[in-house]
Amino acid sequence: MEIAQRPSSPGLSARAPANPAANTAESALAEAGAAVDQAAASTAPAPAPLRRGLSNFDAPRQNDVSGAQQAIDFLEQSAAQLRALKTDIAAKLASRQMRDGQVEQRVRQFTETWRNRAQASGGTLDAQLNFSNDPATQTFTVRGMTLANLRNGARETLAIAVGGGTAGLRSVHLAPGLSDAEVVARFDQALAPAGVRVSVNKDGELVFTTAESNWPGVRDALAVQGSGIRFPAGQLNRLKADAEAPAVMPEGWGASDMETMRATLQQVTQALAHVEAALSKVRQELALTTQRMQFDLPELEVAGMGQMADVFANIADQPGYSALVSLTSALVGINRDRVVSLLRLS
């Protein structure tokens, strides 16, 4: 048999030969599809077309679910390691026989896990284990940056370095008579372009917040220059930034003696409580997000699907290439997500 190669064409329908069976199959599919459209149109509350399947699903909300799951994985792993460490320390304090170095190994294991917090949680957990799908942040205060110091004095312009290059050098204009809210707002507006936001705590200290990834650069570059009123004139003077302490600090844990182990056991117990509380909050957030996703699931056109299924079954039973052409043409645009979304309705 000799097979002649045909020139390529844009689609299957263009090179398929005319065939009565194919025409009949395609006509049946068209009629079934029309029935679905008519049923959907008769039941639709508005003329706007319905959204099908999951192809248009809210991508940010899917990212929320993914971020929460990463945070839960990290917190569950941390909680398991802390429970094991707590058990081992309690056993050793009770003078039970244990393998030498077992507690120290547990401490090193958790320390390494905690050190990888940002990466393991996908950046969703900060050092206080606050969950957010926005990038994790680092909060810090700066000595001398208090409302009591900033609101008083004559007019002065402060040059503040919060990063390298000209983009990290910002100016804040202070003047007599500014309210506390105005002082905070001027700092916030000036430093925001450099990725640093400013608020105030109950003690009247300015509280600075920057992305956790940006924190080392801000910490190492932080400096201020005034005109001798609130801060010294001349060149930029380095400032010490005091970062908010993390929720867990395993670097100080140990098992060298009984007193150290007792102190470590207390800190491990507190750390475990903190981790479990954070885990509960993230699980609640994940449950709420999942509920919102299910509530907002795009409405699917299911009326007339039985007739459509029967037509497909009949065509599939027909031998020959023409039936295959009809089926493949009808299946264009149908993907796995749409099938899954239909199955969830059952």
φ, ψ of residue 249 to 5 degrees: the values are -130, 80
Average pLDDT score over the chain: 80
Q: Are residues 46 and 64 in the same domain?
A: no
Shared domain for 120 and 256, answered yes or no, is: yes
One domain, residues 42 and 72: no
- Where a domain ends, among 207, 228, 243? 243
Residue 304: which region, alpha, beta or left (left: phi > 0; alpha: psi -120 to 50)?
Answer: left
Task: Tell me: do 111 and 168 sit in the same domain.
Answer: no
Please indicate, yes or no, whether residues 160 and 112 belong to a single structural domain of this protein.
Answer: no
Cross-sheet strand order for the sheet of 223-225 = 169-174, 156-161, 223-225, 237-238
Task: Evaluate whether residue 255 is within a structural domain.
Answer: yes
| 84 assigned to some structural domain | yes
pLDDT of residue 256: 85
Distance of CA 160 to the CA centre of its chain: 31
Distance spanning both ends of the chain, measured CA to CA: 50
pLDDT, tens digit, 9 for 90 and up, residues 77-104:
999 999 999 999 999 888 766 567 889 9
Domain annotation covers residue 112: yes
Answer whether residue 39 is part of any domain.
yes
Residues 167 and 122 in one domain: no
Q: Indicate whether 38 and 66 sit together in one domain.
A: no
Q: Are residues 173 and 217 in the same domain?
A: yes
Give yes or no: residues 222 and 148 share one domain: yes
As for how many domains the chain has, the answer is 3
Q: Do residues 147 and 194 both lie within one domain? A: yes
Tokens representing 166?
């000209």
Range(s) of the domain holding residue 197: 137-243
Which residues of the chain fall short of a pLDDT of 50? 1-19, 21-22, 36, 39-40, 43-57, 299-303
